[in-house]
Amino acid sequence: MTSRNSEANRAASSRRQVGSLPTAKAVVRSALLGLSAVALAALFAVPTSVPAAADPPLTVAEAKAQIAQLETDAAAIDQDYAGVQEKIAHVKGDLKLKQSDVKAQTAKVARMKAQVGQVALAQFQNRDLDTAAQLFVTPDTEDFLSQISTVEKVSENQNSVLQDFQQEQASLADLEHSAKTDLAALDEQQKELANLRAASEKKVAESKAVLAKLTADQQRQIALEEQKAAAEAKAEAERNATNTTSRNDTRESTGPAVTASGRGAKALAFARAQLGKPYRFGATGPNAYDCSGLTGAAWRAAGVSLSRTSQSQFHDGRPVAKSDLQPGDLVFFYSGISHVGLYAGNGMILHASRPGKPVEYIKMSYMPYAGARRPG
């Protein structure tokens, strides 16, 4: 009995041991599942950094449009720069006068201070004796009484000196404060000038970067197209000028008026002599120009002084309808009046356009028209 129980126990123990070990199929299935998990993880893993897709190559037309916009923006900033330059020139002029006034007023106050000192000393010496007391101690009373009116007059004069001194001191303080305010404003305007210059240069750098993205052949194509357009515009403008001169010569024999005013013709003639000169930031000639620098110089040669910027020149002279334009008239473009040129006839203007381009002719229709003025 005991022997049978022992055998039964050994058999049960053997079954438990066999049941606790994995079967061959279970081992294989587990291995396959593990491999599948690794493979799936590798398949669906998301990379931590995805390389950015390269920008599509620019077409010549796209590059030209971007470059033109950036350079036009730079030229618009240039007009703001010129406006700040003009303000600085005015502030410097006012400041110089004020500093001169401060110097003169300081000397005047110093002279008056000496007079006030003498008055104060006289008052101090006589501070303990009023008129009645002085009359009592004066041996020659008749002479003293005869001088009372004179003494009172001197007192009035002394008081007047004191009042004048106080007023002049206040004027000096006002002048010094005004000069200090102008100096602070000048400092801020100089900072604004530097910021505008940096912003313009950034636009120019961006335009160069756009050009650098193009192939050498594309860059040559743009250069040739610009040269061709400039040559065609110049030829058309010169044909118009020749035809105008011919018509005027014919009319002079019968006495009618010429198509361009005398001053407008002189302004345009001056501008023509600047053809090919470079555009330069804030330049007013004679070797380079910005847009309003050219128009200002041209009309100055005709005997008319214009304001410095395109925005301010838009208020010079009198308005002219587009249909009534004459050579030499000022023609303005863009909603912010950020560009100006000289009308050259037949729908053409002569202008200093933007960085990287020289003084040249261009069709008015290439830019959004904003208005026209006739100086003089």
| Whether residue 286 has a cis bond before it, omega within 30° of 0 | yes
Residue 315 annotated as catalytic:
no
In whole angstroms, what is the distance from residue 122 CA to residue 111 CA?
Answer: 17
Is the separation of the CB atoms in 258 and 265 below 8 Å? yes
Query: Positive or negative, the Cα torsion across 35, 36, 41, 43?
Result: positive
Q: Catalytic pick from 90, 177, 291, 315?
A: 291
| Per-residue b or e along 21-56, where b marks 16 or more CB atoms closer than 10 Å to that residue's CB | eeeeeeeeeeeeeeeeeeeeeeeeeeeeeeeeeeee
In whole angstroms, what is the distance from residue 57 CA to residue 61 CA?
Answer: 12
In whole angstroms, what is the distance from residue 282 CA to residue 369 CA?
Answer: 23
Query: Positive or negative, the Cα torsion across 304, 307, 311, 314?
Result: negative
In whole angstroms, what is the distance from residue 205 CA to residue 222 CA?
Answer: 18
Measured in whole angstroms, the distance separating CA 289 from the mean position of its chain's CA atoms is 16
190: nearest Cα among 72, 92, 54: 92
Active site residues: 291, 339, 351
